[in-house]
Amino acid sequence: MAGHSKWANIQHRKGRQDKLRAKVFSKLSKEITVAAKMGDPDPEKNPRLRLAVKEARSQSMPKDNIERAIKKAVGGEGEDYAEIRYEGYGPNGVAVIVETMTDNRNRTASTVRSLFSKNGGNLGETGSVGFMFERKGEIVYPASVGSADDVMMAAIEAGAEDVESSEDGHIVYCADTDLNEVSTALEEALGESESTKLVWQPTTTTEMDLESLQGLMRLVDALEDDDDVQRVTTNFEATDEVMSQLEG
């Protein structure tokens, strides 16, 4: 949509993560431990673990923390976590997907429901908003890695589906099942990415004014503050003017 900036939206969320680095590291450690428990503890033999480690490194997580998280799985330590996805609506009917890892389903369900209710949203049934998203692999590179044409050519050769380039950088999208293969090929061509992960990509978006967006951010921030929540995705769209007011 003309006049809209996905990059501004992404950067706002990244800024939020930077303020919560310790909490981010905790969530990344949980993902690494779960991935290592589910498969081989060697990242080269376990695609999910490899992606988890790559994302941890992109967030500047110390090597010791990464190794400790893997050792927890090898030693049979840590809790057994269930991965549960919640879906609902935020202010102005915006779709919200909440991905969690929990050792207590009842606690997490109660908390997520309460946070939606307290922040102008409604928790729905599984599948209530999922149809508005597609599962994709997302690989982010800084603008300095090369021109839009350079990245597009590398992405095509790597088997990616789409590239969005701007003065802020490049976002490469691929099928969710191809993320490990595509990210490895791009790494060889362009170097280490800023971020490599699976995402829910909106197929339809909901336009937000400043007041609605402020309400949505309160809901998202409250959800992200919960230790059981790994990731929150919405389908909001906002103009650059609204985003600048939000961040101003």
Model confidence pLDDT, tens digit, residues 98-154: 999 999 999 999 999 999 999 999 999 989 999 999 999 999 999 999 999 999 999
CATH of domain 6-74: 1.10.10.200
- Through-space distance between the first and last CA atoms of the chain, rounded to whole angstroms: 23
> Could you tell me the pTM of the whole model?
0.86
Burial group, residue 172, by CB count within 10 angstroms (0-12, 13-18, 19+)? buried
Q: Write down the pLDDT at residue 112.
A: 98
Task: Report the pLDDT value the prediction gives residue 7, as an integer from 0 to 100.
Answer: 43
Which segments within 44-168 are labelled E, that is strand? 82-89, 95-102, 122-123, 133-142, 162-166
For residues 205 and 235, what is the distance between their CA atoms, to the nearest angstrom? Answer: 5
Task: Give the per-residue pLDDT at 3.
Answer: 34
| Structure tokens belonging to residue 67 | 């190794």
pLDDT at 19: 56
Tokens of 191: 């170097």
Ranges of the chain with pLDDT below 70 = 1-20, 77-78, 247-248
Are domains 6-74 and 132-202 of this chain identical in fold?
Answer: no
Pairing of strands 206-207, 236-237: parallel
> Residue 163, Cα to own-chain centre: how many angstroms?
17
CATH topology of domain 82-131+203-247: Alpha-Beta Plaits (3.30.70)
Write down the domain spans for the chain.
6-74, 82-131+203-247, 132-202
At 14 the pLDDT is 53
What does the chain come to in residues? 248
Task: Pick 132-202's CATH classification: 3.30.200.20, 3.40.50.410, 3.30.70.1400, 3.30.70.980.
Answer: 3.30.70.980
% the chain with pLDDT above 90? 71
